[in-house]
Amino acid sequence: MGMEIEKLNIYKRLRDFNVPATVLDDIFAGKQDLDILIKGWHDLQEAGLKDDEIAGKISGLILSEIDFDPTHEPVEK
């Protein structure tokens, strides 16, 4: 149960940083992508970053990977 809550928390935080839901759905649907995301999240937590700092860094990577500029397109909530 704890892992499901953690996944939901990560999903919500990344949505707060303008990562499109469709992109997150793709990441969360693939075990390999999800494992990489969660490992990266944990590594940054161990480095002392807070969840909002982690979400900011990871969302920036995801957005640059998909060439998405959240300032030019509205994001559905």
Residue 9 has pLDDT above 50, yes or no: yes
The number of beta carbons lying within 10 Å of the beta carbon of residue 39 is 10
Q: What is the pLDDT of residue 77?
A: 47
**Residue type at position 2:** G
Q: What is the pTM of this model?
A: 0.82
Per-residue pLDDT of 11-35, as tens digits, reads: 999 999 999 999 999 999 999 999 9
In order of 3, 12, 27, the CA distances from 61 in angstroms are 23, 16, 13
**Residue type at position 39:** K
